[in-house]
Copies of this chain bind each other. A is one copy, B any other.
């Protein structure tokens, strides 16, 4: 048996290479950029007016003038007009280009405008030369890198890409993943199980979890039969970058997964971790580059192994930070065995502090219990009592509560 730390290190020593793919900008939310995005123009691309009002030449004020003849109106989106004489002004709108010959914008709030055919604008307060102009290139110069490869494409990044004219982006291509459930006791979701059967749920839980990385996994089921298991895994090892297996890794007479994988020359890096739940976890790699994460079949164990080991590893291969964050225990937990214990907790931000409330479970079989919790808290071995106020890492599994706080 290996320790939690050793198992984590062994997993992190392995990687797979992600390709790139082109995706329409309006489908890129949540994807990881795989190119560099540079400013195709200055930001802003021209001296941009930031208030509605008039554009003037400040010189006229310096020379004692207080009123301007309004000689034109310039909207956003129009080519710039020109001021010919110092006492001229052009009515101007937010987002417009600064008119030629003008150097200052006076907002309507600071003006009295009179006249009908020939309007006159009189300043009602003092102003400063150059006011209310967002200068060309003051945010970013043309050619500056605005987004680096590896950037997560949230809404602001989508906006920036649109601004520089990228309607299609090169993003990381998610790996190909096969999820394989095992076990003669499992029937598909649509079926009514016999009294000694249960419905298959792990494959769907895992596949749902993988949505976070935009991975669209294929799902398979294999029966507890060595030949059948070996043949199916042989095929999948050739066609997928990652196999996630659920079940068949314990000590039972019909747990054929380790045997089949060894027969297929998948190198075992560890089998069994000093932890509860999730002890029977098996991890290996194939010479084709395919990695095999074989989790216990128990729903809570399988989901814990995914959350604690595979999620951080996936974040790593996508260039994202570790999902682990520290929370303060909000109640006592006791756990006697000399194993790392992953307690189910509900997490909660209270003021600026993250708390973890223990959720009472019925052991690793209680799938329904997971819905009352948000995260697994990692409580180290070599200690039996974990007290309120102590801090430990948590691995969250809810997008809406806490996913990658780090």
Binding site for B on A (CB under 8 A): 25-26, 28-30, 39, 41, 43-46, 48, 50, 52, 73, 75-80, 91, 93-97, 108, 134, 138-140, 146-147, 151-160, 162-167, 183-186, 189-202, 204-209, 211, 224, 247, 250-255, 297-299, 303, 320, 325-328, 348-349, 351-355, 362-371, 391, 397-406
Contact = CB atoms under 8 A, between A and B. Distances in A.
Given A134-B363, A405-B402, A166 B139 contact: no
A93 B201 CA distance: 19
Given A76-B183, A200-B162, A362 B139 contact: yes
Contacts of A254: 75-76, 93
25 contacts: A45-B193, A75-B254, A77-B183, A79-B195, A93-B250, A93-B253, A93-B255, A94-B250, A95-B183, A95-B185, A96-B185, A97-B196, A138-B362, A139-B369, A160-B201, A162-B200, A163-B201, A165-B199, A166-B189, A167-B190, A326-B352, A353-B353, A401-B405, A402-B402, A402-B405
Given A80-B196, A211-B29, A251-B52, A352 B353 contact: yes
A208 B24 CA distance: 12
A192 B224 CA distance: 61
A266 B39 CA distance: 39
Contacts of A41: 193
A316 B76 CA distance: 36
A151 B371 CA distance: 9
A30 B405 contact: no
Nearest to A211: B29
A77 B205 contact: no
A75 B225 CA distance: 11
Contacts of A368: 39, 43, 139-140, 146, 160
A108 to B, nearest CB: 6
A200 B164 CA distance: 10
Nearest to A209: B155
Q: Ordered nearest first, which 5 A-B pairs have the shortest CB separation? A: A77-B184, A77-B185, A159-B205, A156-B370, A93-B252
A98 to B, nearest CB: 10
Contacts of A224: 75-77
Secondary structure at the A interface, as helix, strand, loop or mixed, is: loop
Contacts of A202: 159
A367 B401 contact: no
Contacts of A207: 26
Contacts of A134: 362-363, 365
A352 B370 contact: no
A135 B404 CA distance: 37
Contacts of A190: 165, 167
A353 B399 CA distance: 19
A137 B80 CA distance: 77
A43 B351 contact: no
A205 to B, nearest CB: 4
Given A50-B365, A76-B183, A184-B78, A155 B397 contact: yes
Most chain B CB within a 10 A radius of its CB, from A200, A201, A255, A349: A349
A113 to B, nearest CB: 11
Contacts of A162: 189, 199-201, 204-205
Given A29-B211, A46-B196, A165 B189 contact: yes
A391 B190 CA distance: 51
B26 A208 contact: yes
Contacts of A402: 402, 405
B77 A156 contact: no
A389 to B, nearest CB: 10
